[in-house]
Structures are given as structure tokens and as C-alpha cells.
Structure 1
Amino acid sequence: MKKLFLYIVSLFIIVGCSDEIPEQKRPIQAKRAVLAYLIANNNLDTDIMNNVVWMYESLAKSQDSCSLAIYYKPSSSNNYINEAQILTFFTDGHGQINGQPALEGNDITTSNVVGQALKYAAISGIATQAEVMQANLQAMTDMMPAESYGVIFGSHATSWMPATGTDISTFSFGYDGVERNSINIPEFADVLETCFPGNLDFVLFDACMMQTAEVCYELRNATHYCIASVMETPVDGFPYHLILNNLYQEDIDFDKLCEDVITYNKKEKLWGTYAVVDCTQMDAFAAAVREEITSKASLLENLSLHAIQQYGVDQFSYFSFDVADLIRQLNEGILPDSFQQILNQTVLAKSCITNSNANPYGSVLRDEEKYCGIGMYIPDAANNPNWNAYYRSAISWYQAVWGN
């Protein structure tokens, strides 16, 4: 906490010196700060560390003042960070980051980027414990006061599925250490509601399988937008060197964001589905889905699951089905106009790759028309008693759509 106090003092000093900047060159203070909560104490450490470098690369090109705080939990093999730390970067929009000339070209290396960061010891503990996550997010917001925030969460994840050691290992969100410590989505949503009371613009999941109705419904009171993939994602992560500056804009260009990610993935011969969901529409979306499945209960009972687009592979087969394709199958292959309207209000942008040669994920989606941007589980679709019991007892979407 002493380091945090010293940081806050240094921040006041920086602000106090801002009068030295000529009025015509004074940077415009960004209304939104971006935070990143990166749990890399696992086999993704090298890739997530590279994501930090990409974030810096984007900041170095920014023509606006931007604030970025990164909570980073490294693995024991990380050569640059040896304990959980908070890295902070402030760019003035005139080529300066943290009061120094921004790195350029070949100088943008992991070592140099970490070296230029203002670093502070994070609050210790398991990164996926609600209390630890909340404390560190709160510390970052204290460091970077802003009108609103966007938060990037990077690690392993498995959507709504419970973070428990079962016959199929699941992470829900986060994988901290050999014990695979994770946080379940309802508790995750509670943390966000506590830390960001009405001022969290977006959550971006740089993690697998998070763009499901179950996740977005839990987040409906926590954030406005959810940016994620319904599939397992490449280890490269989001190409932050191409998209981060977009996330600072007052009106984020979500179509461009999804297209930029897909363009990068295509160039690297990867796969991918990415979408942006308006979580504030999830109550209305749940009501529309419930109406469809309730009115066609007998058709649903006899519907072959193999006929519906699903997004899981191997042990995660049938964890999530395309919502629109399910409704389409219940309506003789036609999506009702009324449902299409609420879908358009809920899924604001989407982009995907079909027929990729990346095995096994490239073959999951063959027809772009079957991808609506958001998936959901069908109770008992998977022969996994742990999933099914947890789904009924803990997931709010179940009660809103499937419950009596």
C-alpha cells in the first residue's frame, strides 16, 4: 500500500506540472481509461506478455491522451515480471509515454516496455478470488480516475461452466497457477458491479468461449458491452496493436473492431468468431428466446442437436449452440422478423472466419449464415451431471429462459 500511496503522490505531481504545457498543445484528457486484468500464471504467459507489448505499440501511435493500467500475474518462468504487479502507462498524445519519448520500431521490446512502465506491487493473493480481483481493480481505478472504464480480461476461460475440478476441467474465467484457481461468472459479475457502479463501458474477454447468453445475461447490470468470442480463441489473443486505440474512442467502432481482429486472424491463418453484445438488452433478449422455445416446446423436444450450429470441440462439445440457428430450426428454417429485430438490438457487430484450415477449430463453423454472434446452452445437451446441475442452480439465464 505504501507503493500505491507514492504512486498517487507522483500522479498529483504530474498533474501539477501540466501547466507547463502550452495551451495550444495541451492534450485532451480521455474520458475513458482502459484497464487490463491479465492472469498469465499458466501456459499463456509468453503470449499474454506479447499482448502487453502490442498494447504499448498502440499507445505509442495515439494522438490522444490515454491511460492504461495492467494487472499482470506472471508465471514463475517470466523473465520480466517476478510477482503480480500493476503496470501503468500514460500517453500525452504527443509522443510521450510516462514522461519519456515513446519507444519506436525495434526498440519496442518486452524488456523496454516493462522497463518504461510505472510499476507497483499488486495486492497479493489468488488472482481469481473475488476479494483479490476486486481489490486490484479498485486500486487501478484509484490510480486512474475517469468518467468511465473499459476492462480487458485475459486468461483461460470456459464461459458459464463451473470452475470446479470435475471429469472435464473447466476454468469459467481465469487460471491462476497449478491449482487452476478460477472464478465463476455470477461472482465475477458481482465484482464488476461493486468496482464499477454504472461506469463500465465494456468488458473485453481475451479468453475462450465467453460470448454466450449465459455470460452476457450475468453481466447485464455490470457493463454496457461485452466483446468476446463464442469459440475457443487463438493463443495470439486480440491484436491490440491494431484495435486498442479504437477502445478509447467515445463511440467505439465495433464493426471495425471485429473486422480488424478477423483480418489479423486470416493473415495468420487462424480461425475465429468475434462479436459485440449490448448487455443492457439481455432482459429483452431472454424474453424473446423464452417465448420462442415455450411456444414450440414439442418441436424442441424432438429436435436433433446435430442440426443446430454448436461451437464446442472435443470435451466442450455442445456447451453452446447458436441462438439464432436454434430459433430458425424451430421455425422451419426461417428466423421470425420479430426475433431478428431483438437480435439486431442485442448483437451490435460480428465477424467470423469459415472453413479455416486450422485444426480442429477451423471446421467448427462452415456457414457464415449460421453465426449470429451469441450462443447458449440447451439444458442436458451434454451428458455431464455437474454442468447440468450447476446450470439449473446458479445460472440466471436458465431461470429467465428455461425455468418454470
Structure 2
Amino acid sequence: MNSLFFNSLMKCLLALVFLLNSCKDKESVVIEKNSRVILVYMGANNNLVTDAYNSINAMEEGMIGVDADVYVYATLAGSSPKIYKIVADQSAEIKSTVVKSYGDQDSANPKVMNQILQTLKGYAGDRPQGLILWSHATNWLPNVGVKLMSFNEDRGSRTELRDLQSVIPSGLDFLMFDACSMASVEVLYQLREKSTYTIASPAEVLSTSMPYHLVLKHLVNPDLEQGIKAAAETYFNFYNQLTGLHQSATISVVNNQYLTALATQVHAALSRSPLTAIYRNNLQRLDFDEKSLSAGFDFLDFVNQNIPPSDIEAIEQVISKLVVYKAHTPTFLGKPILKFSGLSCYVPVDLNKWIHPYYNSLAWAKDSGFNSFVLE
């Protein structure tokens, strides 16, 4: 073996050792930094399938320059359900790695949803996690023999709020709804123990969805509150710079630890001054789509018009701590937003009495005292 060949061989071996050590160091950095894992449950076995593909593509673009793990379970109309590990890519095609495939299944079935969420959590291990629920949604409304739902729609099957409560894992950094109308006190309160923060819209969400190419980096920010507030602000700015009906967005970031205090304050106010009449007609509506099944009203507008002034300040003080970020475009689908607390609520009407027994079974109705005027 001549010396030139030997020296070249040694250089190659040393380079290989260095490369292997570099790879090992990179892997240990990912483990040591304990970075947040983003888990996504995407229900698009419905008319949102094209938007779902666009969201996955946007996530791939959002991964460019971001060192994080993002896993997406997607049930997409016309293809079998899969779990993807999102990879950085700017092409129009889905380049992400398929880590698990499934046969035909009902993604709105709580048993299926529970199984998938547990699998997603397994990929995250003990690292901090944020969960995004992406699909259709109609607030707290149940699946009770008519075409209503709380979340998801899979060939006529839907997931109701109490089932969501049973399957969503606890201990999440944040829970984000990329779905319509889920920033209601009813939904937030039912799911308050699942995550530190909730990100959601009290009004509808346009099918163009969250601009993941812009927000993904914020969702993995080690500073949790700063990151999710930045994500919500980015969402708002994205839609606010559009024109016409596309300039339509509401968004809220809620610190869930204050939800119990809100229910307590409202219950105390209603106990002192029971409502004998409900003022509903002039309240700010937060459902703007004429096809919407979710009747939501601005929560603080309801409080101001129905609860005595002596009790309002205490409620407002809790909301100032509860809602850490809120924003809305001037109009939504061309309809003005004049009042906006970041929260919606149900306000009863006799036409809806058939659904009041279900409403009064929800934790918010009981703990806040709303069941005292939502009559069956």
C-alpha cells in the first residue's frame, strides 16, 4: 500500500467518523432540546378534501428552516387514511413520509379517533405536544339524529363534544381548532383540562384554513404563550390584508386556567340576579354564514345586556386574564363585527327547546348557571 493511497484512505475514514459523530450529535440535540411536537387530526373525508391537501402542502413549506416534528393523520376523500411525518418541501406535491396507513375507517367515530390520537402521541413520546383538530365543526351542537355535529364529518358520521372530551389526550401545551365556531364558552369549558391554551375562532373559519406556511414556526416556539399568540396574530394578518369576502377572520387565544373562575363569577351573578327575560335580538352575532347551524353570540355583549352592571366588572376582569389574544376583521362575509370579546355563547330561543336537554348536560351550563335560563 503506497503512502499516498494510505493517507487518502485515512482522510476518508476520519471524514466518515466525523460525519457519523455529527449525525449522532444532531440526533442528541433534537432529544435534549425537548422541542414541541405538533400533532394534527385532519378530517377531510368530505368536501374539504382539496383544502386539506393545500394545508398539508402549506405545512411542508412551513417546515423549511424549522427543526421540529409534525405528524398528520389525514383521512382524505378518495384515498385511504394515513399518518404523515411532514417534511420540508416547496413543490405542489405531497412529499411527506407516510409512516402508517389504514384501511377504510370512520374518522368521526370516537373509538377510531382515540386510537389515532394515541398513536400520534406515541410518536411524540414525552416531548411537549400541541394538537390541531382540522375539519368541519359546529360549536357544541351534538349528533342527535339530524345533521348537526361538534367536530368532523365523515360520510354522515360526526363527533360530538362530549366524545371529544373523552378522546382528546390531556397534558397538551395547546389545542388548536382549525374549524368553525369552537371558541365558545361551552366548548372551551368542556375541554379546559386538556391543554394549557386553546386557539380557536368564535366565528366560522374560511376553508382556505390556517396559513401553515407562515404559522408553523410559531407553534414550535419554546416560549409557549409568545409563540401561539404570534401564530394567532399571523393568522389574523393573513386574512386582514385580503379584500372582499376573503377578508374574514376571528381568532382567540385562551388561557384555560381561568375558565373555572369565569364560570364561578357568572354563576354568582346569575344567583344574585336570576334572568327573567333574555335580550337576544340586538346581540352581536358571531355566526355569519347563512348555512351555519351554530347560533353563537358575543359572550361579553350577552353579559353587558343581561347581567346587572354591579356584576359585570368582576366578569370582565376574569376575561382580561382568560383571553390573552383576540382579533377580528372589520367584517365577516360582509357582515360587520361591532363587538368582540373573543368568546361566543349560546343564547336560548324557544325554537331550539328540543336541544336544550343536551345543552344543559354540558359542564358549562351546570357550572355557570346558564341552565337556570336555558329552559327545557
TM-score range, shorter chain: 0.7 to 0.9
Contact 1:148–1:201 (8 Å) recurs in 2? yes
Aligned-residue CA RMSD in angstroms?
Answer: 2.5
Query: SS state of the match for residue 240, structure 2?
Result: helix
Contact 2:58–2:213 (8 Å) recurs in 1? yes
**C-alpha deviation, 1:327, in angstroms:** 1.6
Q: 2:219 is matched with which residue: 206, 224, 247?
A: 247
Q: Which residue type is aligned with residue 377 of structure 1?
A: Y
Q: 1:301 is matched with which residue: 265, 276, 295?
A: 276
Q: Which residue of 2 aligns with 1:103?
A: 89
Q: Which residue of 1 aligns with 2:328?
A: 352
Partner Cα separation in structure 2 for residue 129 and residue 172 of structure 1 = 12
Q: 1:86 is matched with which residue: 83, 88, 93?
A: 83
Contact 1:276–1:350 (8 Å) recurs in 2? yes
Q: Which residue type is aligned with residue 157 of structure 1?
A: A
Q: Which residue of 2 aligns with 1:115?
A: 95
**C-alpha deviation, 1:268, in angstroms:** 2.9
- The superposition leaves residues 106-146 of structure 1 with CA deviations (integer Å, 9 ceiling, x where unpaired) of xx21x2xx334233214752111111111111111212324
Task: Give me the TM-score of the superposition, normalised by structure 2.
Answer: 0.84
Q: Which residue type is aligned with residue 64 of structure 2?
A: A
Partner Cα separation in structure 2 for residue 25 and residue 83 of structure 1 = 32
Q: Which residue of 2 aligns with 1:265?
A: 239
Q: Which residue of 1 aligns with 2:13?
A: none
Query: SS state of the match for residue 31, structure 1?
Result: coil
Q: Which residue type is aligned with residue 203 of structure 2?
A: M
Query: SS state of the match for residue 268, structure 1?
Result: coil
Partner Cα separation in structure 1 for residue 59 and residue 270 of structure 2 = 43
**C-alpha deviation, 1:278, in angstroms:** 1.7
Partner Cα separation in structure 2 for residue 58 and residue 278 of structure 1 = 26
- The superposition leaves residues 170-217 of structure 1 with CA deviations (integer Å, 9 ceiling, x where unpaired) of 22100112xx2111111101111xxx34x2111111111100011011
Q: How does 1:376-395 map to 2 (within 5 A)?
A: 376-378=345-347, 380-381=348-349, 383-392=351-360, 394-395=361-362
Partner Cα separation in structure 1 for residue 241 and residue 190 of structure 2 = 34
Identity of aligned pairs, percent? 24
Partner Cα separation in structure 2 for residue 334 and residue 247 of structure 1 = 39
Q: Which residue of 1 aligns with 2:122?
A: 142
Contact 1:124–1:132 (8 Å) recurs in 2? no
Q: Which residue of 1 aligns with 2:154?
A: 176
**C-alpha deviation, 1:373, in angstroms:** 0.4
Query: SS state of the match for residue 39, structure 1?
Result: strand
Q: Which residue type is aligned with residue 206 of structure 2?
A: P
- The superposition leaves residues 313-359 of structure 1 with CA deviations (integer Å, 9 ceiling, x where unpaired) of 43647722211112222367898332221001111111101135xxx
Q: Which residue of 2 aligns with 1:46?
A: 50
Q: Which residue of 1 aligns with 2:344?
A: 375
Q: Which residue type is aligned with residue 99 of structure 2?
A: K
Q: Which residue type is aligned with residue 264 of structure 1?
A: F
**C-alpha deviation, 1:304, in angstroms:** 2.5
Q: Which residue type is aligned with residue 238 of structure 2?
A: Y
Cα distance, 1:335–1:18 mapped onto 2, change above 3 Å: farther
Cα distance, 1:51–1:341 mapped onto 2, change above 3 Å: same
Does residue 1:21 correspond to 2:23, yes or no? yes
Cα distance, 1:301–1:277 mapped onto 2, change above 3 Å: same
Cα distance, 1:18–1:390 mapped onto 2, change above 3 Å: farther
Does residue 1:287 correspond to 2:287, yes or no? no
Partner Cα separation in structure 2 for residue 54 and residue 279 of structure 1 = 28
Partner Cα separation in structure 1 for residue 358 and residue 259 of structure 2 = 21
Partner Cα separation in structure 2 for residue 234 and residue 335 of structure 1 = 36
**C-alpha deviation, 1:26, in angstroms:** 6.7
Q: Which residue of 1 aligns with 2:165?
A: 189
**C-alpha deviation, 1:399, in angstroms:** 0.9
Q: Which residue type is aligned with residue 56 of structure 2?
A: V
Partner Cα separation in structure 2 for residue 18 and residue 143 of structure 1 = 24
- The superposition leaves residues 54-77 of structure 1 with CA deviations (integer Å, 9 ceiling, x where unpaired) of 111111131xx200110000102x
Partner Cα separation in structure 1 for residue 322 and residue 255 of structure 2 = 5
Cα distance, 1:24–1:310 mapped onto 2, change above 3 Å: closer
Cα distance, 1:273–1:73 mapped onto 2, change above 3 Å: same
Contact 2:140–2:149 (8 Å) recurs in 1? no
Contact 1:71–1:122 (8 Å) recurs in 2? no
**C-alpha deviation, 1:237, in angstroms:** 0.5
Partner Cα separation in structure 2 for residue 18 and residue 250 of structure 1 = 28
Query: SS state of the match for residue 142, structure 1?
Result: helix
Contact 1:173–1:185 (8 Å) recurs in 2? yes
Contact 1:30–1:66 (8 Å) recurs in 2? no
- The superposition leaves residues 8-31 of structure 1 with CA deviations (integer Å, 9 ceiling, x where unpaired) of xxxxxxxxx974427589744443
Q: Which residue type is aligned with residue 357 of structure 2?
A: A
Q: Which residue of 2 aligns with 1:164?
A: 144
Gaps of 5+ in 1: 1-16, 77-81, 90-96
